[in-house]
Amino acid sequence: MVEDEASESAETSESIGAQLRHREVSWEDPLVSAAQAMELSGLDFLRAIMAGRIPPAPIAVLVGMSIQAAEPGRVTFGLDVGEHLYNPIGSVHGGAFCTLLDSAMGCAVHSSLDQGQAYTTLELKVNIVRALTAATPSVVATGPVVSAGRRVVTASGQITGPDGTLYAHGTTTCLVLAPRGAQGQEPREKGDRDGR
């Protein structure tokens, strides 16, 4: 009986191996894009990515998402849903929901920034309300800014399918970083990597 179980296990492993899939990803140097971000307003930077004048972030290429629309304080990302985003139980992993919403909401904040300003996410909250599979070929995440202060900006977001079905919603709080060398701000020390 133990031999049969081992034999069954080997057969299962072989059949799983026969279904092996591959995904190849290529990206451009993200530090070049990051330098360009400081030379443009947030909205101009995002629109340049949309137009293909600036390459997208490597995470966008890896996951399969792209900016679909960018307005002041509002950004929409599209995501092609596929098995490469699946968790072990056969649906899109929660981290993919978080990545998509973090991108849409964070870029909504970015779209409201002036040239030379940057931001970082302080807090991210995501509620997944419906499972997502490749049966839904694409979704969009729209993130509008809710409140914009001088240093703290909040945004919300929703992931919806082509028929308007809600898959997830979330909120974020972002910290706006003053331009380097701005009046009254000391330049960051070389070893200070956490942005404080």
**Residue 64 forms part of a structural domain:** yes
Q: pLDDT per residue over 132-150, tens digit each?
A: 999 999 999 999 999 999 9
Domain assignment of residue 126, given as a range: 28-177
- Exposed, middle or buried: residue 71 (CB in 10 Å: 0-12, 13-18, 19+)? middle
| Rounded Cα–Cα distance for residues 77 and 100 (Å) | 7
Structure tokens at 132: 């997502």
Q: What is the CATH number of the domain that holds 46?
A: 3.10.129.10
**Residue 164 forms part of a structural domain:** yes
**Residue 88 forms part of a structural domain:** yes
Q: pLDDT per residue over 27-74, tens digit each?
A: 999 999 999 999 999 999 999 999 999 999 999 999 999 999 999 999
Per-position DSSP letters for 113-163, written without gaps between them? PPTT-EEEEEEEEEEE-S---TTS-EEEEEEEEEEE-SSEEEEEEEEE-TT
**Residue 46 forms part of a structural domain:** yes
**Residue 125 forms part of a structural domain:** yes
**Residue 137 forms part of a structural domain:** yes
**1 or 105: which carries more pLDDT confidence?**
105
What is the number of domains present in the chain?
A: 1
Q: pLDDT per residue over 96-117, tens digit each?
A: 999 999 999 999 999 999 999 9
Give Cα 87 to chain centroid, integer Å.
17
Q: What is the pLDDT of residue 15?
A: 56
Structure tokens at 176: 């706006």
pTM of the model: 0.83
**Residue 44 forms part of a structural domain:** yes
Q: Are 93 and 135 in contact (CB under 8 A)?
A: no
**Residue 163 forms part of a structural domain:** yes
